[in-house]
Each structure stands twice: as C-alpha cells, then as structure tokens.
Chains A and B, each alone.
Chain A
Amino acid sequence: MLRYTLQRLLMVIPTLLGVAVLVFFMLRVVPGDVIEVKLRGDGGTVSQEVIDAERKRFGLDKPLIYQFGDYMYGLAKLDLGISLWTERPVTEEISLRLALSLQVAIMATIFAVLLAIPLGTMAALMRGTWVDYVVRIVTIGGLSIPSFWFGMLIMMALLYYYNWLPPITFTPIHVDPVANLTQLIWPAMAVGYRYCAVVARMIRSSLLEVLNEDYIRTARAKGVFENKVISRHALRNALLPAITVIGIEFAFLIGGLVVTEQVFNLNGIGKLFVQSVSRSDFTLIQGMVMMLAVAYIFVNLIVDLLYAVFDPRIRYGT
C-alpha cells in the first residue's frame, strides 16, 4: 500500500508539469493582457508609454520562452508568482478564498452523503413502490435543476417569506460559528441537492445490481438477518462506485461553484476564477488551475485508497 501511494505521488510531478505547460501557453493565445484591462478597461486615457512601462515592470515584454522559464523556475521553488492585478502573491490570493470554498464543499458533501445513502438504499430496497417513485422524482429534480438556479430560488424565498437574507460577508467558523453557518448553509444546500441526487441514483442502481449477486443469496440462505445482509454485504459493495462519484464531485466543488458563488456573493475560488479570467490575470489563473489539478489528483488518490478499505479483495502493490 505504501509503495503504491508513493508511486502515485511520484506520478503527480509529470502530471502537474503537463498541466503547467498547457495552461501557460493556452492562456497566451488569447489577445490582450491584464495591463490594458487595468489601465484602459474603464475608459482610461493612459498613453502607450505608460502601458509599455507597466508591461516591462511585470516582465510581460520579455519573449514568451523567457516568461515560461521564469514561471517554471518559480514552480520548482513552489512559488506561484504574484497576481498581475493585485500584485500580491498568488498563494495569498488563493488561500484567502480557499477556506470558504473548502467549507462549502465539505458541508455540501456531508449534506449530500447523509441524504443520498438512505434515499438510494430505500429506493433500491423498495423498488417499484411509491417510495422508489418519490426518490426518483426528487433525484431527477436534483439532476435537472441547476444549482445556481436553486440557489436563486432559496434566496428569493428567504427574501419573500421572511424578508431576511444570509450575511453577505464571510466570517470564519472559529470567529463566529453561527454567522459562518448562517451564511454557508444555503449555498451548501443548493449545491448539495444536485450532489445528493447524483450519489443517490448511483447507490440505487449499484445496490440493485449487488442485491442480485450470488453472495447475497448465499447470505440470506445461511439465515443472516436481512438488515445485516444489506448493511454488511450489499451496501458496502454498492458504495464503491458511489465513493468515486463523491470524490470527483468534492474536487469539482472546490473550484466549480462559479455561478453559485456569484448568486450568494461568496468570496470563493469560483468567483476568483471568473474575475481573474475577465481581467486576463494569467499568473492567478495558472495558480488556480495548478491548485485544482492538485486537488483532483489527491482526491482521486484518496478514493483509490478507500476502495481497499471498503473492499478487502483490493490490495495495492501486491
């Protein structure tokens, strides 16, 4: 297991290298840069000399290959550079927003998993009954309704019925847990609903498949109690594909809540992504893509390792 983990960790290096090269050169294909947006985006009347001097200050006048060399040298030192918009370190810009995005992702995951497992299991066990139909309607609703639209409905309902809205600025949970949860529970619910629908449908279908397996019939024939058959034999195996989905969805939520964060005015990674793209802040975009790549890689690794926990037949590195 340890050897397998180390091998996977070593694989991270070429993967990130590939991501870095791709992102760097793809961004440079787009015409225009952050200096023009900063100084002329709001109707500025600055001269070309000022624009050129600013470009020089940020090293944007250098040939692309030199800029790439500087970027890779920085990466080797784990230095993502400075944001071309704010002139602050990229790591500082990201870490400011990461706490919020991570918390929403964790809360949405908890919300989704806690609902999806019982819903998916009930739907599978009571297949063809009204319970199954209700769960199917609820989950199809979750898949069909975009999270941001559901979020807008939540906001409008809070405003219409209670004339109240959650706090508009972020308070860390260790500073004021009530203010923190009051703000983040709603976006977590908005994205958690869709997340829950995906996982519940996955659990339902894989549980239906597992329930037809020989070892389930054998367990029942041996006289094992039905609840143990379900929890120990069926559900444990049915959870394997669901774990993959949970992992991928979690990684997606860290940077993928672009529109939902706008709806709730959350200062998260998704909103930062939109801002940095609209400003052509290349270094910040590169930093965020690298951060998300790392998140996906590590979530996938954790999912693979969890497989071994849930299915003893899987042994890595043997």
Chain B
Amino acid sequence: MKALFGIAGMLAFALAGATVPADAQQPKRGGTLNFAISAETPNYDCHGSETYATLHFSAPFYSTLVRFNLKKFPDVEGDLASSWTIAPDLMTYTFKLHQNVRFHDGTTLTSTDVKATYDRMRNPPKGVVSPRQATFADIGTIETPDAQTVVFRMKAVNASMIEHFASPWNCIYSAKDIAADPNAPRNKINGTGPFVFGEHVKGSHVTGQRNDNYFKKGLPYLDGFRGVFTLQAAAMLNAVQGGQLLGEFRGISPAERDRLVGAMGDKIRIEESSWTLNLLVAFNVEKKPFDDPRVRRALLMAIDRWGGSAGLSKISTMRSVGGLIRPGSPMATPPEELVKLPGYAKDMTAARAQARKLLQDAGVPNLKFVLHNRNLAQPYTPAGIFLVDQWRQIGVTADHKQFDTAPYIAAMNAGNHEVAIDFSNLFMDDSTLALAKYLSHDRSPQNLSRAIDRELDKLYDDHVRERDIEKRKAMIRAFERRVFEQAYQQPILWWHRIVPTHRIVMGWDMSPSHNLGAQLEGVWLNQ
C-alpha cells in the first residue's frame, strides 16, 4: 500500500512538474495588473522629466526607437526600430522603422515623428524643458529619406550614442501634436505603446487599457493596468500583502522585504539586483578647510565601507562597495583594484591613523563641521548616522542636519553646504553618464564639490571619443583615481534593488535600474 502511495505521489509530482513550467512559459492573456507607484509624476512628459515616477506612469503608453534588452542587459534591442546600422566611424546611425505603427489617435507613425521627437529633446522650443539637450548635442543633423528610415549624422563621435538612444526617457511623440503645441505631451498622451491611456485621478491612480492596434502582434498580454500612487511605505506593504496590489517595481528596503516574505511566504516573489544608484559624500572645496585635499582625503579614509556594507545592508537599501561605475558591471573597478584607492582600504586601523596624521598636518586635528543631508529615512538617515560615527573615530565632529527636499537642494545649489550627502541616479552603467557628475562645476552644476579640475574634464572628453574598449577602460580608471586622490566626492555605497511581486505576475524583467522595464508589454498574470 505504502509503495502504491509512493508511486502515486511520484506520478503526481511528475505531472505537477510537467505542467508548472509549461504554465510559466505559455503567457495567458487577460487580467489587470494593479501595482504601486510610490511617487506621482508632475506631468506626462518623458522628455522633460528625470524621475522614475514619470516612467512608471507614462512608459506603458509610449515606444522608443531602441531600448535595453533586460534579459541581456546592457544589450540594446529594437523597439520602433526593426533594424539599424552604425557606420564604422560612429558618425552615422541609420534606423529602419517597423511598418504600420499607429499612434493611439489612429495616425500612422513615420520617420518624421522620430525626427520631431529628437529635435524636441536636442533643441527644445521655448517653454519646453529638456534635460537631454547636452546628451544629444553631438547629433549634427537628422534626415528622413523615407517614411520608414531615420538617419542621425553626428558632429562628433560619442562611443555611447546607441545606449543614449536606448534611454527610456526618449518616448516618441507625434510630430503633429508637438507642432500644434510643443508642450502638449505634458498633459496629453498619444503614443504608440502597448497600452492606451485610460484615466489619471490625481493623487490616486493611473489606468491603461490594452492597445489592440499595437504593432507587436499578440502583445500586450494584459487587458490593462492600474498604477496606484502609494506614498507611504506601510500602506503599500499592506496593499501588497492584502493582494490589492501585485507588486512595486521601484524597490523596497530589506526590512520591508522580510515583512512581506514572513507574512506571505511563497506567494510573494522577491527579485534582487545591484542598483544604478549610489549615495555619495561631497566636500565643498570653496569652504575652508575643505579646500585642502589632505582634509578631504582624511575624511574619506576614515570611512570603513566594507564593514559599513555588512551592517547597513541589513537596515537600508545601501549595500555594494564600488567606485564611480556600478560594481559588477563590465566597466567597474574590481575590488582588488578598488582597495588600492584612497577611501577603500580594508585595514581601517592603518587608514584611520593616516587620516589623523593628515588632519594634523592640515592643522585641523579636531575638525568640526555640518553634514548636510536630506530628510528621507531610506537610505539618507542611516547613511548620515554612519558617516558621523566613522568620522568620530578620527576625532572629527560632524553635526548631522537633515532638510526637506527643497531647502536641501537649494542650499547645495547655492554652495552653502560644507559637506553633503548627495546621490547619483543613473539608468545605465555607461561611463559618459556616470562620470558626468564629477566634471568641473562650471560644466556640471550637479558636481556639489564645486571643484574645477580641467584634468578631469580632458580625461572625460577623451574617453567619450575613444572607441577602443580597453583604452576607454584605462581612461575611466585614470579619471576615477584622480577624483579619489583629489577627494572631491566619493560614493559611500551603491544601492541594492529589491522588487516584490506576487507569484502570479509573470514576464516582468528585473534590471539594475528602476527606470527600465516600465513598458509592461510582456507582463502577464498566471491566474
């Protein structure tokens, strides 16, 4: 009898095993995906925004020319482009567009729409905000030889241009819409994306319905989606636990993850990745004694990043020790090289002794200053407390002051801070994006150290034009070494992304950036 039960059990297991993967691979059509968006976009214009809140809202309604393939990140794949060629000298990019692509208002997409979109980003008309103007400054002309072909001719080589074309912010707009009103995309959605705009109830939610005329046949799988604005983490967690929301695609903290796993067990899926975000510490070189590189270097050397990583990763979204490029990504500095750079030593006793000596040599052995920080619990507060403690160990007193976002940014832009905790928010690992924050302040206002360093600027410009990967990598290392030796700014730790989704949510791809993968075209519900 026991043997009979055993065989029956094995048979049942085998059947289950045979059906479950089949279910997992065969997408089902239908259903509405309810998910959390933990911030609300001020308007719908992808081009004028730099917040994920706009993408999690608008991306399902739009297409881009090309995009990142999240299954093989950072490879680039076509979206509206069915194919493309890049001239060997990197001076011409030719894109062929899919046929019969229609905007949601029924008009047909042509190369003119792509040209109008990129013209709007690189030469914004009066009243249009485009933070991407500098990114596309290397584009000389955009030609449209026929309705399905777009040719970008460059003024100068930019070795990362194809990655910039894949930016999720480059939503393709209708040429006629932006000709009628250049700011129309702020309040009106007319894209070619997998979902058609439903409603936006301010402060509450956004909805989209399946675009039955979507140019990728069979997609999307969902009937629709509802993105609910949940500004308070506890409310979001309750809603995920209660099944009202099936996921949150930005990222949650380890404590929040543990709560969901503890309460929901195997009903929740947790996906984790290193994140293209880091918190960094910036010293204002216009304020004494931070104009002295010895002082800045001493303060960096006192920070035990490796020990901090072990502790902070349990209580905050910070985790990985890294240089200027996301650790683990192809161009990142490996740990064995990183430990040789100022601020990354593992022997903290020796590093702190050296830091004390540097402070004494600089004449500020009992340094006191204000650490300017943002008033957000995750992960700014733990980062601030961590730094205060690290500096206390070399006899430095930091007065930790946290401010709401507006005064926090205003004080830093005005150069009123002494030492600040800043952050770097990227959507890819490309060095042209990651290093830009460290350029001279007159070229890069987001450089909060306010340092002017023409050697860094030259290294950056040379690396942008360099097509040989190994030479480019060497230039990135040289740039990084220079930044850390001069100790203007330095990442404290890189963030760790944790995304919870209900088990029934399938087809969503995890990536190192919360700005990617918001289109939802391949997502389906296994119910």
CB neighbors of A among B213-262 (8 A):
226, 228-232, 234-236, 238-239, 241-245
Q: Does B50 make an interface contact (CB < 8 A)?
A: yes
Q: Does A164 make an interface contact (CB < 8 A)?
A: yes
For B232, list chain A residues within 8 Å (CB): 262-263, 265
For B242, list chain A residues within 8 Å (CB): 158-159, 163-165
If A43-B423, A50-B131, A168-B228 touch, does A32 touch B407 (CB 8 Å cutoff)? Answer: yes
For A47, list chain B residues within 8 Å (CB): 131, 133-134, 445
Asked if B131 contacts A39 (CB within 8 A), the reply is: yes
Q: How far is the CB of A154 from chain B (nearest CB, A)?
A: 11
Selected from B130, B239, B409, the residue in CB contact (under 8 A) with A168 is B239
Asked if B406 contacts A31 (CB within 8 A), the reply is: yes
For B424, list chain A residues within 8 Å (CB): 43
Asked if A267 contacts B203 (CB within 8 A), the reply is: yes
Selected from A33, A44, A87, the residue in CB contact (under 8 A) with B50 is A44
Q: Does A45 make an interface contact (CB < 8 A)?
A: yes
Cα distance A43–B423 in the bound complex, in angstroms = 7
Asked if B245 contacts A168 (CB within 8 A), the reply is: yes
If A31-B407, A47-B445 touch, does A86 touch B43 (CB 8 Å cutoff)? Answer: yes
CB neighbors of B among A93-124 (8 A):
93, 96-97
Query: Contact string, B66-91, partner A, CB cutoff 8 A, digits 1/0?
Result: 00000000000000000000000000
Q: How far is the CB of A233 from chain B (nearest CB, A)?
A: 48
CB neighbors of B among A148-167 (8 A):
152, 155-156, 158-159, 163-165, 167
For A127, list chain B residues within 8 Å (CB): none
For A39, list chain B residues within 8 Å (CB): 50, 129, 131
Asked if B234 contacts A152 (CB within 8 A), the reply is: yes
Q: Does B205 make an interface contact (CB < 8 A)?
A: yes
Residue of B nearest to A40 (CB): B409
If A32-B409, A33-B406, A43-B424 touch, does A85 touch B202 (CB 8 Å cutoff)? Answer: no
Q: Does B436 make an interface contact (CB < 8 A)?
A: yes
Q: Does A36 make an interface contact (CB < 8 A)?
A: yes
Q: Does A280 make an interface contact (CB < 8 A)?
A: yes
Asked if B406 contacts A280 (CB within 8 A), the reply is: yes
Query: Contact string, B379-404, partner A, CB cutoff 8 A, digits 1/0?
Result: 00000000000000000000000001
Asked if A45 contacts B406 (CB within 8 A), the reply is: no
Cα distance A163–B241 in the bound complex, in angstroms = 8
Selected from B42, B408, B446, the residue in CB contact (under 8 A) with A86 is B42
Stretch at the interface among A173-181, A210-218, A246-254, A271-279: A271-279
Residue of B nearest to A46 (CB): B131
For B436, list chain A residues within 8 Å (CB): 45
Cα distance A44–B53 in the bound complex, in angstroms = 13
Residue of B nearest to A43 (CB): B425
CB neighbors of A among B302-325 (8 A):
none
Q: How far is the CB of B164 from chain A (nearest CB, A)?
A: 13
Q: Does B186 make an interface contact (CB < 8 A)?
A: yes
Asked if B186 contacts A87 (CB within 8 A), the reply is: yes
Asked if A43 contacts B50 (CB within 8 A), the reply is: yes
Asked if A38 contacts B202 (CB within 8 A), the reply is: no
Q: How far is the CB of A288 from chain B (nearest CB, A)?
A: 13
For B364, list chain A residues within 8 Å (CB): none
Interface residues on chain A, number (Cβ under 8 Å): 54
Residue of A nearest to B204 (CB): A267
Q: Does A30 make an interface contact (CB < 8 A)?
A: yes
Asked if B409 contacts A41 (CB within 8 A), the reply is: yes
Asked if B129 contacts A54 (CB within 8 A), the reply is: yes
Q: Does A307 make an interface contact (CB < 8 A)?
A: no
For A193, list chain B residues within 8 Å (CB): none
Q: How far is the CB of B242 from chain A (nearest CB, A)?
A: 4
For A152, list chain B residues within 8 Å (CB): 234
Q: Does B108 make an interface contact (CB < 8 A)?
A: no
Q: Does B405 make an interface contact (CB < 8 A)?
A: yes
Asked if A41 contacts B51 (CB within 8 A), the reply is: yes
Residue of B nearest to A42 (CB): B51
Cα distance A163–B239 in the bound complex, in angstroms = 11
Q: Does B413 make an interface contact (CB < 8 A)?
A: yes
Asked if B239 contacts A165 (CB within 8 A), the reply is: yes
If A50-B131, A278-B405 touch, does A271 touch B231 (CB 8 Å cutoff)? Answer: yes
Residue of A nearest to B374 (CB): A41
If A45-B131, A168-B228 touch, does A96 touch B409 (CB 8 Å cutoff)? Answer: no
Residue of A nearest to B124 (CB): A50
Cα distance A169–B200 in the bound complex, in angstroms = 12
Q: Does B52 make an interface contact (CB < 8 A)?
A: yes
Q: How far is the CB of B326 from chain A (nearest CB, A)?
A: 14
Query: Contact string, B312-355, partner A, CB cutoff 8 A, digits 1/0?
Result: 00000000000000000000000000000000000000000000
For A170, list chain B residues within 8 Å (CB): 201, 204
Q: Does A57 make an interface contact (CB < 8 A)?
A: yes
Selected from B131, B202, B404, the residue in CB contact (under 8 A) with A44 is B131
CB neighbors of B among A250-293 (8 A):
262-265, 267, 271-272, 274-275, 277-280
Asked if A169 contacts B204 (CB within 8 A), the reply is: yes
Q: How far is the CB of A292 from chain B (nearest CB, A)?
A: 17
For B230, list chain A residues within 8 Å (CB): 168, 265
For B425, list chain A residues within 8 Å (CB): 42-43
Q: How far is the CB of B513 from chain A (nearest CB, A)?
A: 12
CB neighbors of A among B12-31 (8 A):
none
Selected from B202, B203, B228, B406, the residue in CB contact (under 8 A) with A279 is B406
Selected from B50, B127, B226, B411, the residue in CB contact (under 8 A) with A46 is B50
Q: Does B469 make an interface contact (CB < 8 A)?
A: no
Cα distance A44–B133 in the bound complex, in angstroms = 13
Q: Does A88 make an interface contact (CB < 8 A)?
A: yes
For A40, list chain B residues within 8 Å (CB): 50, 409, 413, 446
CB neighbors of A among B403-439 (8 A):
404-411, 413-414, 423-425, 436-437
Q: Does A230 make an interface contact (CB < 8 A)?
A: no
Most buried by A among B201, B232, B277: B232
For B408, list chain A residues within 8 Å (CB): 32
Most buried by B among A42, A46, A265, A272: A265
A-B contact pairs, 16 of them (CB 8 A): A30-B406, A36-B406, A38-B42, A39-B50, A42-B425, A43-B425, A45-B436, A46-B50, A47-B134, A53-B129, A54-B129, A87-B42, A168-B245, A262-B231, A263-B234, A265-B236
Q: Which residues of A come within 8 Å of B, CB atoms? A: 30-34, 36-48, 50, 53-54, 57, 85-88, 93, 96-97, 152, 155-156, 158-159, 163-165, 167-170, 262-265, 267, 271-272, 274-275, 277-280
Contacts A30-B407, A38-B42, A45-B436 given; 9 further ones with Cβ under 8 A?
A45-B437, A46-B131, A50-B129, A169-B205, A264-B235, A265-B231, A267-B229, A271-B203, A278-B406
Which 4 A-B pairs have CB atoms at the shortest separation, nearest pair first? A43-B425, A32-B410, A32-B406, A165-B242
